[in-house]
Structure 1
Amino acid sequence: MTSPPSSVAQRRTPLRGHPIATLVAVSLGLFMVGLDATVVSIANPAIATSLNTSFVQLQWITHAYLLGLAVCLILGGTLGDRFGRRRMYIVGVAAFAVSSIAIGLVGSATGVIAFRAIQGISAALLMPQTLSLLRATFSREKFGMAVGIWGGVSSVAIAAGPIVGGALVATLGWESIFFINAPIAVFTIVFAALVIRESVAGTSSVRFDVPGVILLALGLAGLVLAIVQSEDWGWNDMRTIGLLVGALCVLALFVLVEGRSSHPLLPLTLFRERGFSIGGLAVAANFFALLGVTFFLSLFLLNLRGVDGVTAGVMLLPLSAVSIIASPIGAILVSRIGPRITMTVGLALVAVSLGALTFTGVDTPYVAMAVPFVTLALGVGLTMTAGADSIVGSAPVHLAGVAGGFQATMLQLGGALGTAVFAAVVGAGAARESADLPLDHAQADALAQGIVPPGMSGATAEAAQDAFLAGMHEAMLVGAIVTGAVALLAGTLLRRPGRHSADEVVLETLEGAVGAR
Structure 2
Amino acid sequence: MTTPNTRAPAEAHAPTGNPWHTLVAVAFGVMMVGLDGTIVAVANPAIGAGLGASMDQLQWVLHGYLLGLAAFLVTAGRLGDRFGHRRTYTVGLVGFVATSVVIALAPTVAALVALRVLQGIFGALLIPAAMGLLRTSFPPEKLGRAFGAASALISTATAAGPFVGGVLVDTFGWEAVFLVNLPVGILAFALGLRLLPPNRATDSSTRTDPLGIVLIGLSMFGLVRALVEGPHRGWADPAAALPLGGALLAGAVFVWWQRSTDHPLLPLELFANRTLSIGAVLMICMAIGLMGTLFYATFYLQDVRGLAPAQAGLVLLPMTAMMAVTSPLAGRVLDRASLAAPTVLGLLAAAAGVFLLSRLEQDTAVLSMTGAFALLGAGLGAVMTGATAAIVGSAPVRLAGVASALQQAAMQLGGSLGTALLGAMMAADAVSGTDPAVFMDGLGRAFTLAAAVLLAAAVPALFLRRRTPVDQVV
C-alpha distance 275-182 of structure 1, shift in aligned 2 (>3 A): same
8 A Cα contact 1:292 1:415, kept in partner? yes
Distance in structure 2 (CA, Å) of the matches to 1:103 and 1:138: 36
- SS of the counterpart of 1:307? coil
Q: Unmatched 5+ residue regions in structure 2?
A: 1-16
Structure 1 residue 47: Cα displacement: 4.0
Q: Which residue of 2 aligns with 1:369?
A: 369
- SS of the counterpart of 2:39? helix
Matched, 1:478 2:449: yes
Distance in structure 2 (CA, Å) of the matches to 1:356 and 1:267: 41
Distance in structure 2 (CA, Å) of the matches to 1:387 and 1:148: 10
Structure 1 residue 204: Cα displacement: 4.6
Matched, 1:413 2:413: yes
C-alpha distance 200-120 of structure 1, shift in aligned 2 (>3 A): same
8 A Cα contact 2:37 2:65, kept in partner? no
Equivalent residue runs for 1:303-342 within 5 Å: 303-334=303-334, 338-342=338-342
8 A Cα contact 1:66 1:413, kept in partner? no
Q: Which residue of 2 aligns with 1:457?
A: none
Distance in structure 2 (CA, Å) of the matches to 1:116 and 1:362: 35
Q: Unmatched 5+ residue regions in structure 1?
A: 1-16, 432-446, 453-463, 501-507, 509-517
C-alpha distance 65-108 of structure 1, shift in aligned 2 (>3 A): same
Equivalent residue runs for 1:272-421 within 5 Å: 272-334=272-334, 338-396=338-396, 398-421=398-421
Distance in structure 2 (CA, Å) of the matches to 1:42 and 1:221: 25
Range with greater deviation from structure 2 (312-321 or 334-343): 334-343
Distance in structure 2 (CA, Å) of the matches to 1:217 and 1:249: 12
Structure 1 residue 79: Cα displacement: 2.8
Output the amino acid matched with 2:250: V
Distance in structure 1 (CA, Å) of the matches to 2:452 and 2:172: 40
Structure 1 residue 290: Cα displacement: 0.6
Matched, 1:179 2:179: yes
Matched, 1:91 2:91: yes
- SS of the counterpart of 2:40? helix
- SS of the counterpart of 1:448? helix
Q: Output the aligned Cα RMSD.
A: 3.5
How far does the alpha carbon of each residue in 1:122-143 deviate from its partner, in whole angstroms, 9 at most, with x for none?
Answer: 1121233335556778899999
How far does the alpha carbon of each residue in 1:425-480 deviate from its partner, in whole angstroms, 9 at most, with x for none?
Answer: 43xx143xxxxxxxxxxxxxxx6243x3xxxxxxxxxxx12222333333223322
Equivalent residue runs for 1:115-126 within 5 Å: 115-126=115-126
Equivalent residue runs for 1:88-237 within 5 Å: 88-130=88-130, 132=132, 157-158=157-158, 160-189=160-189, 192=192, 198-201=198-201, 204-237=204-237
How far does the alpha carbon of each residue in 1:180-217 deviate from its partner, in whole angstroms, 9 at most, with x for none?
Answer: 11233345446655776651217752422322222122
- SS of the counterpart of 1:265? coil
How far does the alpha carbon of each residue in 1:74-106 deviate from its partner, in whole angstroms, 9 at most, with x for none?
Answer: 332333444454443332222212322233332
Q: Which residue of 2 aligns with 1:255?
A: 255
Distance in structure 1 (CA, Å) of the matches to 2:313 and 2:130: 28
Q: Which residue of 1 aligns with 2:13?
A: none
Structure 1 residue 334: Cα displacement: 4.2
Distance in structure 2 (CA, Å) of the matches to 1:136 and 1:490: 25
Structure 1 residue 289: Cα displacement: 1.8
8 A Cα contact 1:266 1:406, kept in partner? no
Structure 1 residue 57: Cα displacement: 4.3
Distance in structure 2 (CA, Å) of the matches to 1:473 and 1:48: 30
8 A Cα contact 1:67 1:416, kept in partner? no
Q: Which residue of 2 aligns with 1:39?
A: 39
Distance in structure 2 (CA, Å) of the matches to 1:337 and 1:134: 20
8 A Cα contact 2:354 2:448, kept in partner? yes
8 A Cα contact 1:392 1:400, kept in partner? yes
C-alpha distance 54-485 of structure 1, shift in aligned 2 (>3 A): farther
8 A Cα contact 2:152 2:327, kept in partner? no
Q: Which residue of 2 aligns with 1:441?
A: none
Distance in structure 2 (CA, Å) of the matches to 1:323 and 1:243: 34
Q: Which of these residues, 423, 431, 455, is aligned with residue 448 of structure 1?
A: 431
How far does the alpha carbon of each residue in 1:252-277 deviate from its partner, in whole angstroms, 9 at most, with x for none?
Answer: 11111111122222222232333222
Distance in structure 1 (CA, Å) of the matches to 2:281 and 2:143: 29
C-alpha distance 241-152 of structure 1, shift in aligned 2 (>3 A): closer
8 A Cα contact 2:354 2:451, kept in partner? yes
C-alpha distance 78-294 of structure 1, shift in aligned 2 (>3 A): same
Distance in structure 2 (CA, Å) of the matches to 1:91 and 1:340: 36
Distance in structure 2 (CA, Å) of the matches to 1:182 and 1:389: 31
How far does the alpha carbon of each residue in 1:347-370 deviate from its partner, in whole angstroms, 9 at most, with x for none?
Answer: 233223222212223322112211
Structure 1 residue 408: Cα displacement: 2.1
Structure 1 residue 64: Cα displacement: 2.8
Q: Which residue of 2 aligns with 1:65?
A: 65
8 A Cα contact 2:92 2:126, kept in partner? yes
With normalisation by structure 1, the TM-score equals: 0.76
Distance in structure 2 (CA, Å) of the matches to 1:475 and 1:161: 22
Q: Which residue of 2 aligns with 1:511?
A: none
Output the amino acid matched with 1:387: A
